[in-house]
Structure 1
Amino acid sequence: MTDTKNPGEKTVGVGQGTGQGGKTLTLKRPVEQGVVRQSFSHGRSKSVVVEKVKRRVLGPGDKPEAPQAASPAPSSPGPSAQPQAPRPAPSNVQTRPPLRTQPSPNANLSGPRPAPQGSRPGGVVLRSLTEEEARARTAALQDARLREVEERRRAEEEAVRRAEREAREKIEREAAEARKREEEARRAFEEEAKRKSEQEARKRFGEENPGHAGAAASSQGAAPASAPRGGASAPAASRPGSSGPRTTTPAPTAATPAGAPRVATPRSNPAMDAEEDDRRPVRRGPGGAPARPAVPAKPTRPAAGPEKSRGRLTVVTAQSGDDERQRSVASFRRRTQRMSGHRHVETKEKIAREVTVPETISIQELANRMAERAVDVIRLLMKQGQMVKITDVIDADTAQLLAEELGHTVRRVAESDVEEGLFDTADTDEELVSRPPVVTIMGHVDHGKTSLLDAIRKANVVSGEAGGITQHIGAYQVTSPLGGKITFIDTPGHAAFTAMRARGAKVTDIVVLVVAADDGVMPQTIEAINHARAAKVPLIVAINKVDKPDAKPERVRTELLQYEVQVESLGGDTLEVEVSAKAQTNLDKLLEAITLQAEVLDLKANPNRVAEGTVIEAKLDRGRGPVATVLVQRGTLHVGDIVVAGAEFGRVRALIDDKGANVTAAGPSFPVEVLGFNSTPEAGDRLAVVENEARAREITDYRQRQKREKAAARSATIRGSLEQMMSQAKTTGRKEFPLIIKGDVSGSVEAIISSLEKLGTDEVQARIIHSGAGGVNESDVTLAETAGAAIIAFNVRANKEARDAAERAGIEIRQYNIIYDLVDDVKAAMGGLLAPINRETMLGNAVIKEIFAVSKVGKVAGCLVTDGVVERGQHVRLIRDNVVIHEGKLSTLNRFKDAVNVVQSGQECGMSFENYQDMRAGDTIECYRVEVVQRTL
């Protein structure tokens, strides 16, 4: 774009007159001056000052002036200067008015200029120029002409470039218009072909009536009138010379009338087209000539051109590219996003949710449950001064504050909620029926508990017990003489099995306290009384062994009064029966007393519900796997039920009663062995039936996690950190005796651990690294080798792989079947870890009378034994001014010239100390013997 600015100023020039050599003031040709702004590519522009000299309009008697010279004048001014011919303009440049820059104000004073005709003579006469001024003016004119020539050359070059650019742009515009026309022609051709194919399809399937068909035929017959001869009309894009797809029009055949329109088909395979025409059905037209319906061919797609380069857009590619670049989809999407970002976004209504918050929860999980962004939750915590991450865990109180601040409601839950509804579901009175009583036999060791139970059951369990004592808890069911069922639980009487007795008291209804008539009340008898009181169950005293000659039943009754147990014979409310297991005396009376007490208690349970019970004992059987002895307390346990006991679960595979027979169900107060657990449960765990395996896994996972946390807390309390262990070892010197304990049942392992923990002192204690029910396996040996522990096997054996591994590692596996021997051996081994005691025995005293220097020996003290004796090689102390200055051993002891072993009181002798020479007259010497005494627990 060119902007022209004409200030409209008039310029005055001075010319030389024609009359008599005088100089007159004349006007120059009318000149229009302005500023032209030239625009170049890439947004550049330039402002140029231009002048346009208008031609004079000649009057009737005027003569035309000579053309102005474009070349610079010669150096010497004068009328003889000849103007140079102007350079011809290039042929491809349009003719424009002459442009030149503004010359100097004195440009017209370079030489005489003939006055135009018709101008009036006269004006102001100027002074003539000096020689110096003329030379300076000539030089300025020459410089001005040179600049004018250079600027004219630049303008011509710019004009040439502008013309070339305009020509190139014109070619590009024409090419774009041609492509656009071709595209429009192709679309028109496709639409026409589609329309014709739809018409032919309607005609073929008879969808149009005859009137419409005739009209369509007449319209098709009239269509070729406007088409050129020799075939059907084709769009401009399909003609030769166009850039679109090229098609051919075959000559009309006998099957196709000359006036019928034909659709252009590709000339890829004419033979196939002819064969297809022969297979078409023949239809007779109005003139009798055979006619076939024209089947429109598929529109041909334009040939694929060269793949368009999608390189990086630069200034060079934008200038040189022939194709027209369009805005990309991504650019349009970004533009839309920018435009929509300034609009007002409608705020969605906040949804208040009920958030379930456990005891601990991570920030990510809390944000997910609230359907909020985690960054918003972290922002709230940062406002409260807590710098947290998205994976940090917060407590329930903090989570509740955050949820309420964000407008949600909170429902607090605990991890223990997974056990809700598992136990102690209340039953209605209509559902309850009578059940057999559960009786626990308790008492001191070797008072005849198991023998009494064998006599009642007509069995012989005592013969299978090692050492003649009961080391396992058993459950049995018998029939009383009155016809009812009674379930008995036998507990060990050893002091180590306190936990077993406590478990038996918890699950029992009645406690039978067995006291030997010849032994009286013993410590475990007192413990059984305390367990019965803690469980709040009635007590029946069975005074056993009344058949012995030294039996004193009255002594037992009297001793029980010390522990607030008053039997009926002494006016109390506690039933008592004198029995003899060996002679089977009064066993029926004992059963009648138990039945009577059960009727008073009115024991009932609901058998028509899911089972609940308690694990009495558990073991790992090599052939059957984990086996748990369960006492069913409520409901009925069936084969196939999914049960949970402690941290273990499983599906019941089999139920075995106390006689070894398989049963399909177990009702209330029925003891059975349950097979099917995935691992051995612990004795004392409560058993419950759940609806599915998912619930069972959820409960056991929670219990296992609780178990690990308790173990870790207990270990941290016992062991502490490494620094605490080191400081404790330095201050107290406490030593640990590591052990790995494997037993036949979990109850025995529990009793062993309890007994060994009681052996610990401030200096040494037993540390149980691992314990469990089952045989010793290879992993136990590996653990013992790593920890430097001893392996104790109680009523179990090691398999072949474990024995081989123990032999290679040099680890001894100690096997026991009596708990007495096990506890005694461990106690002796732990006593060996105790530091021995050094016991001093005073022998005598001596006083130094004189010091003698002996060659090759050193200083020798001449002494007098004042009391006791002095022995060579014993320990001595050197005392000076009642201060011990040296402790050591006596190296030599001489009597006169002879070396002796002992010097009695009142005799003189010579003494020398080991590695010590600083002895003086008057010092006192104490001689004593040190004895090392080994300590025991």
Structure 2
Amino acid sequence: MSDSDGKKTLGLRGGGSRPGQVKQSFSHGRTKNVVVETKRKRVVVPKPAAGKAGGAAGGDPSRRPAGITDSEMERRLKALQVAKAREAEDAAKRAADEKAREEERARRREEIDAKERAEREREEALKAKAEEEERKKREAEVAAERARQEKAKPAVTTAPQQDADGGAQTARVPNKSGLATPRKIDRERDDQKGRASKGRDDGRRAGKLTLNQALSGGEGGRHRSMAAMKRKQERARQKAMGGTETREKVVRDVQVPETIVVQELANRMAERVADVVKALMNNGLMLTQNQSIDADTAELIVEEFGHKIVRVSDADVEDVIDSVQDDEGDLESRPPVITIMGHVDHGKTSLLDAIRNAKVVAGEAGGITQHIGAYQVTTDDGAVLSFLDTPGHAAFTSMRARGAQVTDIVVLVVAADDAVMPQTIEAIAHAKAAEVPMIVAINKIDKPEANPDKVRTDLLQHEVIVEKMSGEVQDVEVSAISGQGLNELLESIALQSEILELKANPKRAASGAVIEAQLDVGRGPVATVLVQNGTLQQGDIFVVGEQWGKVRALIDDKGERVKEAGPSVPVEVLGLNGTPEAGDVLNVVDTEAQAREIAEYREQQAKDKRAAAGAATTLDQLLAKAKDDENVSELPIVVKADVQGSAEAIGQAMEKIGNDEVRVRVLHSGVGAITESDIGLAEASGAPVFGFNVRANAPARAAANQKGVEIRYYSVIYDLVDDVKAAASGLLSAEVRENFIGYAEIKEVFKVSNVGKVAGCLVTEGVARRSAGVRLLRDNVVIHEGTLKTLKRFKDEVAEVQSGQECGMAFENYDDIRPADVIEIFEREEVERTLA
């Protein structure tokens, strides 16, 4: 390329360029056109290969991409052909699959259509059959009507009659029998009309529902609902089956307690809750199903529903517990229940260990029994014995207090080298109070210092006379270490059980007593139960004390799961909703509702008993009971003293009190502090506890408050004797009564020199007297009882201050007073008791 003067034009290298213009913009709106040359893209065409002229791209070197050899080009062509072939195969396969799926869908559609056709044909056949039967029935009715009319009027007239639908008249002609029947053409027309209506006789719509029909009200107005048609079909079905449409009302005896929940009342009447709620609303009571109503309202509702009411009290819930006496023919022999009792470290558990041939002591902390153990032992003779190993006597006493007499024989273990000890005396007292036979096992006979004769002699002091001392109580010398005398002990137990003739009925609902109960972390509440009557089975619903449950599992004394437990068999019961107390009675009931009702009733009764004031077994109440009940001729007491001499002196003094009509019975006399075991014994026997120069420990005080047992403290023996003598004779010299005369509230506390703390008070009730006794109450708890040091009105010492006035008070030898404390003012007076 060149211009007019022969010079070349400025341009890009190569012959593939062409000129162009570009517009450049500058500041202040200036522009400039610049001539440029643009380069065109060069297309490289591969040259055809030799020997393949006129072929594909691989044979034309001018069309082949640069740098591609003949072999590479052939390889790429082959790969392209393979990919095209694979793609064609895939397309063919997809087409075949799609065709197969389409055929499968067509086949399924045909099957569904065939089923629908078959269902429609079946329904049409059933409908046609029903219509045919209905038609035959109508013909039979018409024939019967015509026969009746023929008898009434022999002459039959052939008169035209109009159809029911207003159509053409139908002629009636007599047949050979003389009865007038419709023509065949009429029957065919009726059949066609019935098929065309498609069930119009039962109120159904024929054909599809169109928009115009829906807006205009359909074929002549409003149609019946689907529910109405279903009800009509149900009535027709019941009528065809010969059943009655309305069932007879079932009148029930409805048990109604003092209060009942609306839903529970509906369940007992077998009525709908909504109907009961509606009945309550009609009577002006807007209640829900979870609210309670009284017995009078429930009676009104029960009578309104046509049932009979049976009024029951809350206590009647326990009537479901089976208390029927067993027949003699149902009773079978049961193993005896033996309780091992005695002093600490006298070898009770070791003796039982030797009998069981098991190492129970090794499992107890420090070799001391921590829990009540219940075990079954089979002797060499095949006899089965149930043993109870008790660490103390609290459970034994509580069982008797609750009426659960579980033990049949008591084995009193006494160490030959230690003789009779305080807990041995306690065990004797418990055995006598329970009125069960006793067998004395003189243990540790293998020791050199053993003296069994001393044991027998010491037992005489407690009215236990063994056979070797010409008594009736069996005694056996045994050794838990060497095994000496164990067979003789088992023979004595077997002999005693034969004398008792122990029997029970294993075929009735189970009942038993709780020996021990605990809360296991993994298993929940667990109770060791000794079955006394019947057979306890897995799945039984039971109530025990204030708890109830369903037997989830039964575990015997060997730790193995069992399906059932018969009389005198101890088992662990799992499935309680709470932990019962030792001595609670277990009873099997029918339903969970009954068990829950009984447990709730007992829980409420226990709360009411604890909350009731004056429920304690006081000396005065014992006296009143002795006067009211002519059969009571004994006054039981429990005595604890500081030394043995004082206890013996009190016991001897008690023996001298009484006459032919009444006497004092010392249930237990011991040395040391008043313990929880003493409270349990007193509660079981309804006796007060007398402490001579001793006090009750904290657990005993708590148990006494809870169980309502009176504890009296004395320091002069003559005062104790006089009170018991007065109670036994019905004469008390004087009764000290307290009369509350006023209350005062502390507003401020002042410090006064030479006096101490003085309380600025306001007399809120009654009167405050200088000579009266006072108690200081803080949060309704008595923290001090004494007398007043001073009572001032302004600056003057006064004798009394009336209600509503302010005064100053100071206590004698007591300064711990605070604002908001309450001062209780009372006076003591002696009231002479006279004979009733």
On whether the aligned pair clears a TM of 0.5, the verdict is: no
- TM norm structure 2: 0.40
- TM norm structure 1: 0.36
